[in-house]
Structure 1
């Protein structure tokens, strides 16, 4: 007996698998489930990235005591560092089909593909997933645009290798009434494999306003995952970040209380209020032999506090798998081989990101090729395009160029060029080489270099 809809929906943080058609009733249930199980988490992760950590909400029963609420920037530091390392250098695309790569590059240029990829990587780093909708604009050109995970629901079929069955995008449209009520009218767009449906919330439920064909032959919504679990880059270390924020804030409270310490007087019972006021003004205190004065302060163990904060800092970097670039062990004249080990954990995370991102980029290429084939009648195969990631780490450019030269004769020229620093667009570089052949670097013959490399091997 198959699982009921509620049993399926209660599998939090897991993909939804349904073979059902997207009826208005089912769409409403899916939206309610999404709001109930995902929105609060997404908002919390976004708040942390923007610097609104939970320490911001801390209160104290005694309002007269200091209540510093210091926020660390770990979430944005982790996400931004990984984003730059992962996608700081543009993704490159190569293909033996020149016509196809030219068509694809035109679409990419029209959509500012490099910036789109960067935004998608940041969204994935914060919330664990992001979405992209591919559509046709008013000029009949292919467009794709990132969509936040807050208002997208992807539903897969129940096959062994699941494919998207349909996708839902919902939002609350602004109106004059929504300015006072705080919530506009619910608008829903449903994407299936051949059509797009537009709904609006009515008194009795969702009302179909319009529908149209989209010609992509697949659901034109792409899910970009950060990892298999759909978790953000800093999500696993939030408790450590909270502990660090609390320690920093409590330390600030202790120092503030130190500056506001009480003065105690021993064996000076005859001191009057006016004497204390005079003391504050003159900053001088005369004591007899039996009198004593001092400050009532709390002892602060600086070493223990600093050691605790250092341990928290080290654990945050360790379990988020990012290097602490301010650490003396990381800085300095480190050899390339040593640097590889220091970045080993980060490289494993980036490798997983690349696999997930590549799968989504292939789906984008598949949708584009499908539409181009329908529009032009020409056969295009997205599998003819190779996707290459270049990790944005400090490199010895001389060594990279030498490596590219050594690759000639083993790999194609385009693959070798993809390793050369400064070559972001391999196809454009190949076109320049062809155009300048015979005039540029006439003293070097790439074929001869490849032959020489073969002989030395």
Structure 2
């Protein structure tokens, strides 16, 4: 059965409808404030993934208690080790570097279009792609804002997902109606001010929070602001909301939710073991017929006088705590294995990989990471096509040509550990393939075109270094003719 509860988009649209002004498309400031308040829970979930990436797991907030006269009291005397293991960052970095460690390769049949794209794509773009995937893995999604700067150049800006509230239409097309961005800024007096921006398909509206309500932000000369301006100062809009969602997966959720419990259990067990180790330094005394009134008196007598008074048949025994290390290590090993399994990562422990694994074994080792990377790549491809729609619109507006962004081909060059000796041998034995194909599959070659040009130059230099052949007249073999006979 389909759920009867309203979706998140339906709830937002209801807020807009209940607080609508004369416009039936845009919300008023009351509706915007309600959506921001409602977004707080989703924002906290996103920031939890960021916290774990920065090694600030829940174990860091653990407090130990004890009961005194039936009242729960914070225990400041007991050891409270809070050891956090950064499994989440390890798994996210594996995913990011595996899928985007090498730059995305673009290709197009129209050479001029490909030349313009390659001129635009640089190291900053490659770094932005990695940041988008890293933050999408932490939060479930991240946003990219294409814009035209003050000098008339096309540019882009990554916007944190926890600052964006998207509102889509309710059709199957799922186009973005508009989006709200909110963030806090600090002035020179360390006072916090909340800024709010409303992105539509034609303009951007700017607000600022004042006395718990939103008012127009007069820091901007033009409010609302057009998306870009021509040389005459006339403003224009893209016709689409200039915000692009880069989702981590179909559900738009963080990778963390699939293995957070396992990380917390691992951190908890390690921290508890550390607490036990610390407590083992303290001897536990078993008192028998102690004649004193309280334990404080017993410890004072033992520390100062090295003796205590006991009754008839009394005494005390000293005991220490012990940790069942075999059981603890087995449990931790199982947790670690499950973190890699459900985190869909690669456990490159030499005990599991071996010293010289075959490429078949390596492929099997990367199988789960491939599944996770495939899901992210499937979401990033349409997002990149949406981004290049804005880029081609800019090219058309500036008279640099009209191009179809859907014809731009993208190749995600994955970084996988390989057995290079085995791969080189296979390349050398594949003599029935073209030179370009063999070079493309060689583990030492990153740029096939550049390698082919280097080979061509070396071949030309070799030919030029050879001594010239002696000129021979046509029809002769270079030997003197025998004397004619009468």
State the TM-score, normalized to the length of structure 1: 0.79
Tell me, in whole angstroms, the C-alpha distance in 2 between the residues paired with 1:12 and 1:408: 63
Q: Judge conservation of contact 2:362–2:418 (CA < 8 Å) in 1.
A: no
Give the number of the structure with larger relative contact order, counting CA–CA contacts within 8 Å between residues 6 or more apart: 1
Match of 2:185 among 149, 153, 173: 173
| 1:373–1:394 distance in 2 versus 1, CA, 3 Å | same
2:243 alignment counterpart: 221
User: How far did residue 134 of structure 1 move?
Assistant: 0.6
| 1:332–1:231 distance in 2 versus 1, CA, 3 Å | farther
Alignment of 1:126 with 2:131, yes or no, is: no
2:61 alignment counterpart: 57
Q: How many residues align?
A: 419
Tell me, in whole angstroms, the C-alpha distance in 2 between the residues paired with 1:443 and 1:227: 52
2:366 alignment counterpart: 343
Tell me, in whole angstroms, the C-alpha distance in 2 between the residues paired with 1:68 and 1:367: 52
Alignment of 1:376 with 2:413, yes or no, is: no
2:199 alignment counterpart: 191
The 5 Å alignment of 1:430-445 reads 439-442=457-460
SS in 2 for 1:121: helix
1:34 alignment counterpart: 39
Tell me, in whole angstroms, the C-alpha distance in 2 between the residues paired with 1:386 and 1:213: 28
User: How far did residue 343 of structure 1 move?
Assistant: 1.7
Alignment of 1:22 with 2:45, yes or no, is: no
In structure 2, runs of 5+ residues without a counterpart are 18-22, 67-74, 218-222, 229-236, 293-297, 308-312, 463-486
1:9 alignment counterpart: 8
User: How far did residue 114 of structure 1 move?
Assistant: 0.8
Q: Judge conservation of contact 1:131–1:222 (CA < 8 Å) in 2.
A: yes
1:238 alignment counterpart: 260
SS in 2 for 1:171: strand
SS in 2 for 1:193: coil
Alignment of 1:137 with 2:149, yes or no, is: yes
1:390 alignment counterpart: 413
Tell me, in whole angstroms, the C-alpha distance in 1 between the residues paired with 2:10 and 2:455: 60
1:449 alignment counterpart: none
1:82 alignment counterpart: 95
Match of 1:247 among 269, 280, 292: 269
In structure 1, runs of 5+ residues without a counterpart are 281-289, 445-457
The 5 Å alignment of 1:254-333 reads 254-263=276-285, 277=304, 294-326=317-349, 328-333=351-356
| 1:136–1:56 distance in 2 versus 1, CA, 3 Å | same
SS in 1 for 2:356: coil
Alignment of 1:71 with 2:76, yes or no, is: no
Tell me, in whole angstroms, the C-alpha distance in 2 between the residues paired with 1:371 and 1:120: 23
Q: Judge conservation of contact 2:9–2:167 (CA < 8 Å) in 1.
A: no
Q: Deviations over 1:248-301 (max 9, x none)?
A: 111111111111123568799899967754759xxxxxxxxx998753223422
Tell me, in whole angstroms, the C-alpha distance in 1 between the residues paired with 2:299 and 2:371: 71
SS in 2 for 1:439: helix
User: How far did residue 92 of structure 1 move?
Assistant: 0.9
SS in 1 for 2:37: helix
| 1:78–1:69 distance in 2 versus 1, CA, 3 Å | same
Tell me, in whole angstroms, the C-alpha distance in 1 between the residues paired with 2:172 and 2:336: 43
The 5 Å alignment of 1:399-414 reads none
Tell me, in whole angstroms, the C-alpha distance in 1 between the residues paired with 2:382 and 2:95: 19
Q: CA RMSD in A?
A: 3.9
User: How far did residue 344 of structure 1 move?
Assistant: 1.1
Tell me, in whole angstroms, the C-alpha distance in 1 between the residues paired with 2:430 and 2:243: 38
Tell me, in whole angstroms, the C-alpha distance in 2 between the residues paired with 1:134 and 1:407: 45
Match of 1:156 among 152, 161, 168: 168
Q: Judge conservation of contact 2:80–2:275 (CA < 8 Å) in 1.
A: yes
Tell me, in whole angstroms, the C-alpha distance in 2 between the residues paired with 1:153 and 1:122: 20
Q: Judge conservation of contact 1:130–1:223 (CA < 8 Å) in 2.
A: yes
Alignment of 1:367 with 2:367, yes or no, is: no
Tell me, in whole angstroms, the C-alpha distance in 2 between the residues paired with 1:12 and 1:237: 30
